[in-house]
Amino acid sequence: MEHIETEMATLAARFVNSTNRHVFLTGKAGTGKTTFLRKLAASTHKRFVILAPTGIAALNAGGVTIHSQFLLPFGAFVPERHLPGDITHGNFTDQDTLNRRHPLNNIRRNVLREVDLLIIDEVSMLRADVLDAIDHRMRAVRQNRYQSFGGAQVLLIGDLYQLPPVVKDDEWRVMQRYYTSMHFFESHVLKQHGYAHIELDRIFRQQDEGFIHLLNNLRNNTVTAADVAELNKYHGAEISAEGAGGVITLTTHNHKADELNRVALEALPGKAFHFEAITDGDFPESMYPVLERIELKEGAQVMFVKNDVEKAYFNGKLARVEEVDEKGITVRMYEGAGDKLSSTRYRLK
């Protein structure tokens, strides 16, 4: 379904374009945060860079990872010029070490000097120390040490009810000296310079008001007995994933999912065909949207991992392989009229 521009989204875009204030744009799942990002990127007069904490998030947003753009080392960033003397173990970087041991190359330096707006997506995963490291980098490269992010504007997009920042126990023992939590809003730069908070509140992804209410209760941990009863209406103990079309099994670990897929594929008759990705240049494995080598047979269930511009399919939609050979793949959708779709080569940059 195409998102309709809401008044809040229009005002948010106008605010970003007409001010230099840092902005945190949030909203529940399905409220149009990704659509807002894409429309802003297509229309803003400002020079911008799109960033995200992880490779997959960066790929989905059409950007690059924070660590790649800023050449940040993995580990924790201590927001001081030098590490305290009692920190002798662990993977910690201070301001001076970041400058000396991890200098930016000319391409990255020039991009950051020219940019007006840093757009950071999926900020629920963004650590406070990483945001402070970005601030330190920007002030240094733009030779503007008295303005946050060297005078650039930052737009932070995400939902704090989604994945939180990841911090190891040994890192937290040091980081708690500087932060009360590792969420991005505890960063020194935002605490000192502030930000505007904008929330998109209209849900587009679901239309059923009762289902939306139930989802909100799940989100807020306020589920009632009536909610549970409503959900249990759709529980089918007799349903088996084996041989059932349009059914997906959720697991806790990747290796369990891989094993289930292997067993299901081996149970199918017919010849297996292999398809391999062609990679070139700097494309780390962490950013692969699917396995580098895929094995398929006729009858195999597949899932789309991207959205089609004409809305023929979307990320997460299920289908079954109807025809497969060395030249390509044809799948039939489970939903609707069971439309068929032949594969096309998809290029990621």
Residue 54 DSSP SS3: coil
Highest mean pLDDT among 61-65, 276-280, 332-336: 61-65
**Same domain (yes/no): 179, 263:** no
Q: What share of the chain has pLDDT > 70, as a percent? A: 89
Choose one of 158, 185, 200: the last residue of a domain.
200
Q: Cα separation of 144 and 259, whole Å?
A: 53
Q: Which residue has the higher pLDDT, 58 or 229?
A: 229
* Residue 329 is assigned to a structural domain of this protein: yes
* Residue 38 is assigned to a structural domain of this protein: yes
Residue 299 has pLDDT above 70, yes or no: yes
**Same domain (yes/no): 22, 153:** yes
* Residue 206 is assigned to a structural domain of this protein: no
Structural domain of 311: 254-342
Residue 1 has pLDDT above 50, yes or no: no
Model pLDDT, residue 282: 65
* Residue 247 is assigned to a structural domain of this protein: no
Question: Is residue 28 a contact partner of residue 199, using CB atoms and an 8 Å limit?
Answer: no
* Residue 42 is assigned to a structural domain of this protein: yes
Residue 5 has pLDDT above 70, yes or no: no
Six-digit token string for 49: 């860079």
**Same domain (yes/no): 28, 174:** yes
Question: Is residue 189 a contact partner of residue 154, using CB atoms and an 8 Å limit?
Answer: no
**Same domain (yes/no): 164, 23:** yes
Q: How many CA atoms lie within 13 A of 87 on its CB side?
A: 19
* Residue 267 is assigned to a structural domain of this protein: yes
What's the CATH code of the domain at 128? Answer: 3.40.50.300
**Same domain (yes/no): 174, 264:** no
Mean pLDDT, residues 142-169: 96
In total, how many domains does the chain have? 2
Q: Cα separation of 301 and 157, whole Å?
A: 33
Residue bearing tokens 């911008």: 48
pLDDT tens digits, residue range 94-134?
999 999 999 999 999 999 999 999 999 999 999 999 999 99
Q: For helices 7-18 and 33-43, what crossing angle results, to 10°? A: 40
**Same domain (yes/no): 306, 172:** no
Q: What is the DSSP letter of 323?
A: E
**Same domain (yes/no): 164, 70:** yes
Six-digit token string for 158: 């995400």
Residue 349 has pLDDT above 60, yes or no: no
**Same domain (yes/no): 272, 185:** no
* Residue 264 is assigned to a structural domain of this protein: yes
The strand pair at 23-27 and 153-157 is best described as parallel
Choose one of 200, 216, 243: the last residue of a domain.
200
* Residue 349 is assigned to a structural domain of this protein: no
Residue 265 has pLDDT above 60, yes or no: yes
**Which pairs with CB-CB distance under 8 Å and at least 24 residues apart come from 301-304?**
301/245, 301/248, 301/264, 302/331, 303/248
**Same domain (yes/no): 166, 266:** no
Model pLDDT, residue 342: 79
Model pLDDT, residue 234: 82
Torsion angle in degrees (nearest 10) through CA of 100, 104, 106, 107: 170
Alpha helices in the chain (DSSP H): 7-18, 33-43, 55-61, 66-70, 95-101, 106-114, 128-141, 169-175, 188-193, 209-219, 225-232, 254-266
Six-digit token string for 340: 């068929």
Residue 22 has pLDDT above 70, yes or no: yes
Question: Is residue 121 a contact partner of residue 65, using CB atoms and an 8 Å limit?
Answer: no
**Same domain (yes/no): 48, 134:** yes
> Count of residues for the chain?
349
Residue 4 has pLDDT above 60, yes or no: no
Q: Cα separation of 291 and 306, whole Å?
A: 14
**Same domain (yes/no): 195, 299:** no
Residue 11 has pLDDT above 70, yes or no: yes
Six-digit token string for 128: 């406070």
Choose one of 200, 217, 241: the last residue of a domain.
200
**Same domain (yes/no): 59, 160:** yes
